[in-house]
Amino acid sequence: MRELESFKYKISSPQKIVITTHHKPDADALGSSLGMANYLKKKGHKVTVITPSDYPYFLHWMKGNDEVINFEDKNQQPRAIDLIQNATMIFCMDFSCTNRLQDMKDHIEKSNAYIVNIDHHQDPKDFSDFRYWSTKAAATCELVYELIVEIGDKELIDKDIAECLYAGIMTDTGGFRHPNTTKNVHLITAELIGIGADNSRISRFIYDTNSIDRLKFIGFAITRRLVIMEDLKTAYFAINKKDLRKYNSQTGDTEGLVNYALSLDGIKIAALFTEREDGVKISFRSTEDVAVNKFAASYFEGGGHKNASGGKSRLSLQETTEKFEKLIKENYNILFNQAELIHEKN
Ligand code: 5GP
Ligand code: MN
């Protein structure tokens, strides 16, 4: 953490603020962005949240959702670019490297605004004037809560802000199940519930608003698209474009699917390969004793947390899963012995 005083000074006078987050925002990305936006608006700033893409329908209940600009929406893009160019401050929430902004990257990098980065991912790149960052935090929403308290504005956290922040902490801890569910997580969520966050309503919105298409898709994926490599303690899903079309897949419909593979007894590494227009998107998950972030960084242009990482591949879906199977075999001892990965040589 650095420059807290300069940050506090900066937000003590009205600013034109753009808040952004990573491509395909999840609950932590959107919750931290809207939680921060709602707080900064209360402080008298002009604030717009611009996301690099759309995000799942089950996040649309958050306060401020209706004013979010989706950069991929061509009708909205000129206004988004204008807001970025004129911003005096830009908040980058829940990502540690600007590649995750995709098409927004160049616009943000060109800006002369004061850049704030609030995040909990490993190995942050140095692109901000003020970084509020800790890998010990389970969620960026946890850091937003702590920053507001550190500024001395705890009383400005209202029910709407508390609900945005609660959502991110709940999902990034896998519903308070992952090893990152610390005492601090419970203390903060207790505070958020005390402020008025309706925890049961939020989990219903996020976990229990499936469409029948989505449920059928999950059933199909488990019966037809799950590959189990028992000897390698690894299981993965490979979902092609046709599968997505057949089940009328919406943004967010594949979220959480990878966890079914990890839930298998004896499986320690799980992956989900999803064929998209621009390549194969990959999610990696692992049990506590196995790290997948270096594997994702070394071989699949990605990274993330020890037990939850992501990446991509420009190969075909089949070539990608073949590459994955080969690499799991080759790296078996390293992965399961927690040794350092040797970087791929090409
Ligand atoms: P998910 O599988 O839910 O898309 O992503 C899980 C985690 O992996 C995210 O919280 C993020 O930390 C990381 N992640 C996902 N995609 C990427 C990527 O393309 N690059 C990097 N560096 N991290 C990613
Ligand atoms: Mn997060």
Q: Which protein residues touch ligand 1 with a CB less than 6 Å away?
A: 26, 100, 121, 283, 302-305, 308-312
CB 255 within 8 A of CB 26: yes
Taking the centre of ligand 2 as the mean of its atom positions, its distance from the CA of residue 93, in whole angstroms, is: 9
Length of the chain: 346
Q: Which residue has the tokens 């616009």?
A: 107
What residue ranges define each of the domains in the chain, with the CATH number in brackets?
4-207 (3.90.1640.10), 212-337 (3.10.310.30)
> pLDDT (tens digit, 9 = 90+) per residue, 320-342?
999 999 999 999 999 998 545 44
Q: pLDDT at position 344, please?
A: 46
Taking the centre of ligand 1 as the mean of its atom positions, its distance from the CA of residue 283, in whole angstroms, is: 7
Q: pLDDT at position 186, please?
A: 98
> pLDDT (tens digit, 9 = 90+) per residue, 228-278?
999 999 999 999 999 999 999 999 999 999 999 999 999 999 999 999 999
Both tokens of 17, joined, read 């603020």
What is the residue with the minimal CA distance to atom 3 of ligand 1? 283
Taking the centre of ligand 1 as the mean of its atom positions, its distance from the CA of residue 100, in whole angstroms, is: 9
Q: Which residue has the tokens 């089940």?
A: 247
Per the confidence metrics, is the pTM higher than 0.90? yes
Q: Where are the alpha helices (DSSP H) in the chain?
A: 4-10, 27-42, 77-86, 105-110, 140-151, 159-172, 183-195, 199-207, 212-224, 241-246, 257-262, 293-299, 317-330, 332-337
Q: pLDDT at position 176, please?
A: 98
Sites in the chain below the pLDDT cut of 70: 1-2, 338-346
Both tokens of 310, joined, read 């992501």
